[in-house]
Amino acid sequence: MTTATATASPTATQLPQTTEGRNPGMDLDMDWVMRARANRSAIERRATTLPGRRSVKKDHQAAWLARAISCIDLTTLSGDDTAGRVARLCAKARQPVRPDLLAALGLEGLTVGAVCVYHDMIEPAVTALHGSGIPVAAVSTGFPAGLSPFHLRLAEIGESVQAGAEEIDIVISRRKVLTGDWQGLYDEMRAFRAACGAAHVKAILATGELGTLQNVARASLVCMMAGADFIKTSTGKESVNATLPVSLVMVRAIREYHERTGYRVGYKPAGGISKAKDALVYLSLIKEELGDRWLRPDLFRFGASSLLGDIERQLEHHVTGAYSAAWRHPMG
Ligand SMILES: O=C[C@H](O)COP(=O)(O)O
C-alpha cells in the first residue's frame, strides 16, 4: 500500500467484521489523517500497469460492459438543460441499450445506476423515472466551485432532498484542503451529511484542484470520517478530472477505512470517462484493489455524460460479430 496509513492498518486478527449499512462516520482522527501519504512515482507505475493487459472472451466482455452500465450515474449538468432534455436522458436511463441488443445478450431489465442533474432538473427527472427504481442524484452545495455562503449550501441540500433527490453530490471547500484545515473540512462534511438525512451523500473532492496526491488521500479520509457514503473524484468541470493515479489513492483510502471501521464507502470516478475501454479499466482497478463486493451500483458509480453511447456501440459489435480481437481489457 502506498499511503502511510498502511503501516498503521490493523493486522488480520484485529480487523473488524464488515458492518452492513451506511457509513455513520467517526470522530476526526487527526493522527491518521496526518500519517496519510501518497508515493506519486509508485502510484503512477501501478496506474500504468492497469490498462490493456490481457484479452477476455467475448461473452465475458459483454457482461462487464453491462456491469459498467448498471454503475453509471447518467449525467447532464449543462446551463442549457431543459425538462425535455432531462426526460430524454431518463428514457435512456430506463432503456440504456436498444431492446434487440439487450434481448440478444440476455440483459433485459438492465438500467443505469442513477440520473444526475442540477437541482432545477430534479422534478422532471423524478417524474420521468417514476416507477423505475432509478434514483435521482442532485449536485449541490454551490456546485461546481462550492463557494456560496455556507447556510445557502445547507439549504440547497434540504431543498433537493425535498424535491425528491435520493442522492446528493456535494462539493467540498477546496481551500480547506489547500490550507490544511482538516477540522474545518470535517465539520463542513458532517453538516452536509446531516442535512442530507436519509439521502445518500457523495463527497466530490475536485481532485484536480487539490494540488497533491497526499491532499487527495487526506481529504478522502476526512470525508469518510465525517460520514460520506461515497467519495467522488471530480465535478467534470475542473481542468483535470478522474485519473487512474487519483483513483488508486482514493480506493486505497476506502480500503483502509473499511479495515479500520468495517464500513464500506463507495467510489465514483467522474469527468472525462467516455470510452468503454476506459470504463473496464476502472472496473479492473476496483476488482483488484477492493474486491468484487465493490463492483455493484451501491458501492461504485461512473459519473459520465457520454460513456453510455460508446458502451452501446461496443455491445452492438458483440451482437453483430464485429467484435475485434484487438479490443482488449484487463479482466478475466
Ligand atoms: O459527475 C459527472 C460529470 O460531470 C460528467 O462528466 P463528463 O461530462 O465528462 O462525462
78-97 average pLDDT score: 98
- Pinpoint the alpha helices (H) of the chain: 5-8, 30-35, 40-49, 58-70, 83-94, 99-105, 122-128, 150-162, 174-178, 182-196, 213-225, 244-261, 276-289, 307-320
Which residues belong to the active site? 169, 232, 268
Q: Is the CB of 160 under 6 A from ligand 1?
A: no
Q: What is the mean pLDDT of the chain?
A: 91
Q: Is the CB of 206 under 6 A from ligand 1?
A: no
Q: What is the pTM of this model?
A: 0.92
Cell numbers standing for residue 9: 492498518
User: Which residue has better confidence, 105 or 266?
Assistant: 266
Domain ranges for the chain: 25-47+57-320
Question: Which of 92, 241, 275, when mutated, tests ligand 1's pocket best, judged by the most ligand atoms within 8 Å of its CB?
Answer: 241
Say if residue 45 is exposed, middle or buried (CB neighbours under 10 Å; 0-12, 13-18, 19+).
exposed
> Which CATH number is 25-47+57-320's, of 3.20.20.70, 3.40.190.290, 3.40.120.10, 1.20.120.1200?
3.20.20.70
- pLDDT tens track for 234-249: 999 999 999 999 999 9
Q: Could you please report the per-residue DSSP string of 198-232?
A: TSEEEEE--GGGS-SHHHHHHHHHHHHHTT-SEEE
The span from the CA of 307 to the CA of 321, in Å, is 21
The span from the CA of 38 to the CA of 214, in Å, is 5
